[in-house]
Amino acid sequence: MPATVPVPAIRTSLPGPRAKAMIERDAAFVSPSYTRAYPLVMARGEGAVVEDVDGNLFLDCAAGIAVTATGHSHPEVVAAIVDQAQKFLHMSGTDFYYEPQVRLAEAIASIVPIDGPVRSFFGNSGAEANEAAIKLARYHSKRPFVIAFLGSFHGRTLGALSLTASRAVQRKGFGPTAPGVFHAPYADCYRCPVNRRPDTCQAECLGFLEDQVLVHLVSPDEVAAIVVEPIQGEGGYLVPPAQFHQRLQALAREHGILIVADEVQSGMGRTGRMFASEHFGLRPDMVTIAKGVASGLPLGIAAARAEVMQWTPGAHASTFGGNPVSCAAALATIRLLQEQLIAHAAEVGDYLLDGLRDLASHHPLVGDVRGKGLMIGIELVRDRETKARAIEERDAVVDEAFKRGLLILGAGRNTLRLSPPLVLTRDQAAVALKIIDESLGVVERTHGHQSSA
Ligand code: PLP
């Protein structure tokens, strides 16, 4: 991938012949439950550039679902991985000790937005981090119930799935999920569930939780935890007002309920702060972390106030959790984030948000542009007055972008998400804007929406 080649560079029809052959093999042997938005077969990656098996170059604004925080195969992350791999690959941190896990627990304690001393449990994924958080919350509080939010995504293992309320297909056929979970509406300021206006909002959307759920369904003194995404990810990249988190935090404190901030997608520098909670003054009792933390190696972490994480040996563990190679990758990732990438994400994110708001002025399909740092959602609507969801159109824009060499994904039913590697340059962001502009234009024409461009 020579630096001089302009990106994107699409040289074959998509999928190209090698990609096509690989997809046929995949179809025969790989689980059909995976959702593939378009036929990308990756061969190599560097920074925010992805090369497919046919030599096509794509600009990556998906980052393997918001994972490759430091970009694809950042040389310093790869060096840390190689160095650790040459020493040893595994020794189960749940049965023995090794320095990378201890160092990472120290590093996590120093960066999470939790007050006081912090301890960490290590697993392999976001779902496992949330499983640990739910178990710990019940264990610590001796209370059985958990509150989560509609639209939220917390993972697909059965415990985490009982919190997840993102898309019905993710639950269909798997019920009953774990009992004892109640869901309340999340703050969606573009489609306020209680018809308030942002300028006078007092987070009245929490009224349903306060006046209905906690009155008619469950007694607050039986609720172990409220699990909340500081910015809702899979649900559509929804950014709540600070008062939502403030009011939630006050409610939790009043009733001795633990707050678990699921920062699996919003954490690790993506929003221009190490954790999205920081934007809202949220001080959770636990933070769950995965995705970006090890730049692509599997790692999930449940960090908690040390006084909450008091469980006896044998209560919870995972053979591979806190794998030394993943820990080494995470330590290198955290260093790179702190040295430059968090500030960079904030700056390039602002540039992208401004550019997208400009695009919104001449693309009627764009209903709302929102986000923090490089966690950006563009909600598409058929009509700005009725806000009718442009579901097919959203999928068509993702497809048009792919054809032009830009990798993006959807979130929620009708939102485009931009979650690029945090190394995305301003020039690359400008290219992404141009392709989104073109793709919106094509879809507006083919779907009969007037563009004023
Ligand atoms: N929590 C959030 C907020 C997520 O976005 C995701 C995945 O998208 C998860 C948890 C689950 O993570 P994993 O797929 O690693 O289990």
Query: Residue 431, class by beta-carbon neighbours within 10 Å (0-12 exposed, 13-18 middle, 19+ buried)?
Result: buried
Strand ranges of the sheet holding 57-60, from the earlier edge strand across to the other edge: 42-46, 49-52, 57-60, 406-407
Report the pLDDT value the prediction gives residue 451, as an integer from 0 to 100: 60
Residues of the chain falling short of pLDDT 50: 453
Report the pLDDT value the prediction gives residue 3, as an integer from 0 to 100: 66
Which H or E run includes 45?
Answer: strand 42-46
Which of 34, 166, 291 to mutate to test ligand 1, by most ligand atoms within 8 A of the CB atom? 291
**Residue 175 half-sphere exposure, CB side, CA atoms within 13 Å?**
9
Residue type, 314: G
3-class state of residue 407 by DSSP: strand
Question: What residues line ligand 1, using a CB cutoff of 6 Å?
Answer: 65, 125-127, 130, 153-155, 229, 233-234, 262, 264-265, 290
Which of 166, 227, 264 to mutate to test ligand 1, by most ligand atoms within 8 A of the CB atom? 264
Domains and CATH numbers, the chain: 17-74+340-446 (3.90.1150.10), 76-336 (3.40.640.10)
Ligand 1 centroid – CA 361 distance (Å): 33
Which residue has the CA at smallest separation from atom 12 of ligand 1?
Answer: 126
Q: Which of 353, 422, 362 is nearest to 74 (CA)?
A: 422
Report the pLDDT value the prediction gives residue 5, as an integer from 0 to 100: 80
What is the distance between the alpha carbons of residues 346 and 350, in angstroms, rounded to a whole number? Answer: 6
388-402 core/surface letters (b: 16 or more CB in 10 A; e: else)? ebbeebbbbbbbbbb
Report the pLDDT value the prediction gives residue 199, as an integer from 0 to 100: 87
What is the distance between the alpha carbons of residues 107 and 105, in angstroms, rounded to a whole number? Answer: 5
Report the pLDDT value the prediction gives residue 417, as an integer from 0 to 100: 98
Which alpha helices (H) appear in 88-224, and where do they start and end?
99-111, 126-141, 158-163, 207
Structure tokens at 332: 């290198």
DSSP classification of residue 197: -
Q: Please work out, in degrees rounded to the nearest 5, the angle formed at the alpha carbon of residue 387 by the alpha carbons of 404 and 449.
A: 45
What is the distance between the alpha carbons of residues 45 and 174, in angstroms, rounded to a whole number? Answer: 36
What is the distance between the alpha carbons of residues 431 and 423, in angstroms, rounded to a whole number? Answer: 14
